[in-house]
Amino acid sequence: MKKSFFIALLLHMVVVVSFSQIAAWRQKVAPEVLTSLDQGGKADVLVVFNEKADVSGAKQLKTKPEKARFVYNRLVETASRSQANAVRILREHNAAANGLYLVNAIAVGNISPGLAKRLAELPEVQWLGADPWVQFPVPVESSAQEPAVGRGTVEWGIERINAPAVWDLGYTGQGITVGGADTGYDWVHPALQAHYRGWNNLSGTADHHYNWHDAIHDYSPLNLDSLGHPYNPNPCGFDAPAPCDDSKHGTHTMGTMTGDDGLDNQIGVAPGAQWVGCRNMERGWGQPSSYLECFQWFLAPTDLNGENADPDKAPHVINNSWYCADIEGCTDLIISDILRVAIVNLKASGVVVIVSNGNEGWLGCSSTLGPPAYFEESFSIGATRFDDTIAAFSSRGPVIIDGSGRQKPNVSAPGQNVRSSVPNGQYENFSGTSMAGPHVAGLVALMLSARPDLAGQVELIEQMIEETAVPKFGWQDCADNSGLGYPNNTYGYGRVDALAAVNAALNYESTSAPEPPAPVAQVFPNPTAGETVFDLQNLSGKTVLEIFAADGRLVFNKNWTAQKRELVPVSFKNQPDGVYFWQIKTESGTTSGRIVKE
């Protein structure tokens, strides 16, 4: 009896342990992904890693290029370290994967149950979330082409925000690059071609490297029939080598930012600026991963092969006239949050991120629903009519989707019946907060052409736009003292005023105390055969030096209170040959790099 009882107990323990092991990895997989895998299917997923790069040290840097290079290096080092095991497993499975160092995640297409289990079992993996395709809503309303006869040469929205008065001062956006993530762009449109950064007006030739990226690599499954055949071929194909718009939306938004054909179509706020673009939707169907891929490209544009990333070529401001609706998987809090992290990291690199606030105003108050509009870190734009009243479709705050109650939008801009460019040299009128956001992106370009030294000062630029907006008040309460609060959840701080914002930039004088210099580290010898020395300068207060192996294993750690400069010897004699990553954190900032043991 005792022996039988012992065997039964042992078997029970084995079953419990096995079940707990299964449950552990399944708890790190989104329910909708598990449902598909349990039914023998496959799923597109985002593999999210626990470690998040610390880019706070960028605040100590003065120029946009310095910020961009610092953030890029920190993100790449963190992703290389923490994703090493997952990358090895993906290669073993010959899986289709796309690394997203911007948020420390990997997009994996058609993941199998076995591969999902192996990835979820990795301790460095936080979550396997769904990466579904869903259609982006079309503009609220549109009308056919409107001729120049009977209207002014300069579009009403451009006039309303006082952009021509800024042009008269000599500031048209010259020297500034704006970026757009959308359905793509008809780069040869007469109102756009001369403003494309890849176009050389003198030679009449184009170079699309670093100026265009296509994040659409295949058909959306929702554009395929039951046999897997497309209902209609995509007019741009996939991985397009030159800018192309498979819809109309992107070309329209870019026209409002920079468009001008030199004749009777002054449709853009900043006609002196240059533009670059990324397609993040397949005929209006997008994924969280396609949105993130474009965000990443804007941090450090690449050549057409997706290689040789260069943060020095990043745009100054990007417009995002899209949102990740709840049905796109963005009810998944972790997937939603990595979209927020993408914006945090882009802003840290010195890029102003403009987003449309949404077209759900018919729901009334608290209709700001989808990321990235509701994030605290987003600069969200509502839409106004020709008479400066809010458009009925423009989403309102306060934000309740995350329980924050924060005010949204930040500001508003013209967004109803906006005439701009569409493919094949045409012009049409669209309405939506998608049309309002580009007005503000163009405004940023005007401000920076007036004060180039403010490039990279994202929070300051946003503050100036808010403080110079024309106050407007709504008729809905929306937690706004019967709509009379300022700012409020209908207009935010009001309708933007380009002339006032540029004057604020021109009159700005920095009164802040000089920031302490960021830490500097020199490592010698590097490569090393065993012993090396870290020469650390510009140290201040509590300081941490950490060194990691390529698999994420911590091999050295030192914590101390430092002042100015210190030499720290480190031995690698007991470590295997290979690449190691180090980071130094001090009160004056963070820096990092790599060292080779050979």
Q: Is residue 27 part of a domain?
A: yes
Residue 226 pLDDT > 80, yes or no? no
* Residue 334 Rama label (left phi>0; alpha psi -120 to 50; beta): alpha
Q: Is residue 226 part of a domain?
A: yes
CA-to-CA dists, residue 67 to 56, 59, 95, 535, angstroms: 10, 8, 34, 22
pLDDT tens-digit profile of 500-512? Answer: 999 999 999 876 5
Give kind and range of the element (H or E) at residue 110.
strand 105-111
Identity of residue 330: C
158 and 257 belong to one structural domain:
yes
Q: Which residue has the tokens 């718009």?
A: 245
pLDDT confidence bin for 530, thresholds 50/70/90: confident
CA-to-CA dists, residue 369 to 313, 322, 432, angstroms: 33, 12, 15
Cα(531)–Cα(221) distance, rounded to whole angstroms? 55
Q: Is residue 258 part of a domain?
A: yes
Residues whose CB falls within 8 Å of the CB of residue 536, separated by 6 or more in sequence, listed in order? 519, 520, 521, 543, 545, 562, 565, 566, 567, 568, 584
Please spell the DSSP secondary structure of 415-463, one letter per residue.
-SSEEEEETTTEEEEEESHHHHHHHHHHHHHHHHHH-GGGTT-HHHHHH
93 and 184 belong to one structural domain:
no
Q: What does the DSSP 8-state code read for residue 170?
A: T
Residue span of the structural domain in which 125 resides: 23-131
Identity of residue 474: G
Cα four-point dihedral sign 320, 326, 331, 332: negative
CATH of the domain at 565: 2.60.40.1930
CATH of the domain at 104: 3.30.70
pLDDT confidence bin for 140, thresholds 50/70/90: low
110 and 170 belong to one structural domain:
no
Based on the number of CB atoms within 10 Å of its own CB, is 201 exposed (0-12), middle (13-18) or buried (19 or more)? exposed
Identity of residue 514: P
pLDDT confidence bin for 514, thresholds 50/70/90: low
Cα(416)–Cα(435) distance, rounded to whole angstroms? 7
Average pLDDT over residues 166-175: 97
pLDDT confidence bin for 224, thresholds 50/70/90: confident
Q: 460 or 559: whose pLDDT is higher? A: 460
Of residues 187, 197, 161, the one with CA closest to residue 415: 161
Which pLDDT does position 143 carry in this prediction?
52
pLDDT tens-digit profile of 58-84? Answer: 998 999 999 999 999 999 999 999 999
Cα(473)–Cα(478) distance, rounded to whole angstroms? 11
106 and 98 Cβ atoms separated by less than 8 Å: yes
pLDDT tens-digit profile of 80-112? Answer: 999 999 999 999 999 999 999 999 999 999 999
246 and 236 Cβ atoms separated by less than 8 Å: yes
Residue 47 backbone phi and psi in degrees, to 5: -90, 115
253 and 400 belong to one structural domain:
yes
66 and 127 belong to one structural domain:
yes
Which pLDDT does position 74 carry in this prediction?
95
Q: Is residue 514 part of a domain?
A: no
420 and 428 Cβ atoms separated by less than 8 Å: yes
Report percent pLDDT > 90 for the chain.
67
CA end-to-end distance (rounded Å), the chain: 62
Structure tokens, 124: 């460095």
DSSP β-bridge partners for residue 140: none
Q: Is residue 147 part of a domain?
A: yes
Which pLDDT does position 148 carry in this prediction?
44
pLDDT tens-digit profile of 376-420? Answer: 999 999 999 999 999 999 999 999 988 999 999 999 999 999 999
224 and 79 belong to one structural domain:
no
Residue 17 pLDDT > 60, yes or no? no
Which pLDDT does position 481 carry in this prediction?
82
391 and 249 belong to one structural domain:
yes
3-state secondary structure of 589: strand
216 and 92 belong to one structural domain:
no
183 and 322 belong to one structural domain:
yes
pLDDT tens-digit profile of 457-471? Answer: 999 999 999 999 999
CA dihedral of residues 518, 524, 527, 531 (deg, nearest 10)? -120
Other Cβ atoms within 10 Å of 262 Cβ, number:
10
Residue 141 pLDDT > 70, yes or no? no
Choosing from 507, 535, 560, the residue where a domain stops is 507
Residue 47 pLDDT > 70, yes or no? yes
Report percent pLDDT > 70 for the chain.
91
Choosing from 465, 484, 507, the residue where a domain stops is 507
Q: Is residue 6 part of a domain?
A: no
Of residues 154, 32, 46, the one with CA closest to residue 97: 46
**Total domain count for the chain?**
3
Structure tokens, 487: 């700012």
Residues whose CB falls within 8 Å of the CB of residue 242, separated by 6 or more in sequence, listed in order? 187, 206, 208, 212
91 and 225 belong to one structural domain:
no
Residues whose CB falls within 8 Å of the CB of residue 582, separated by 6 or more in sequence, listed in order? 521, 523, 534, 545, 546, 547, 548, 556, 592, 593, 594, 595
455 and 485 belong to one structural domain:
yes
Residue 552 pLDDT > 80, yes or no? no
Q: Is residue 407 part of a domain?
A: yes
Q: 284 or 156: whose pLDDT is higher? A: 156
Of residues 321, 331, 388, the one with CA closest to residue 358: 321
236 and 355 belong to one structural domain:
yes
Q: What does the DSSP 8-state code read for residue 222?
A: G
Structure tokens, 83: 């994703």
Choosing from 457, 479, 507, the residue where a domain stops is 507
Q: Is residue 515 part of a domain?
A: no
CATH of the domain at 464: 3.40.50.200
Each residue of 511-528: b (16+ CB within 10 Å) or e? Answer: eeeeeeebbebebeeeeb
Cα(39)–Cα(582) distance, rounded to whole angstroms? 44
3-state secondary structure of 258: helix
pLDDT tens-digit profile of 485-497? Answer: 999 999 999 999 9
Other Cβ atoms within 10 Å of 332 Cβ, number:
23
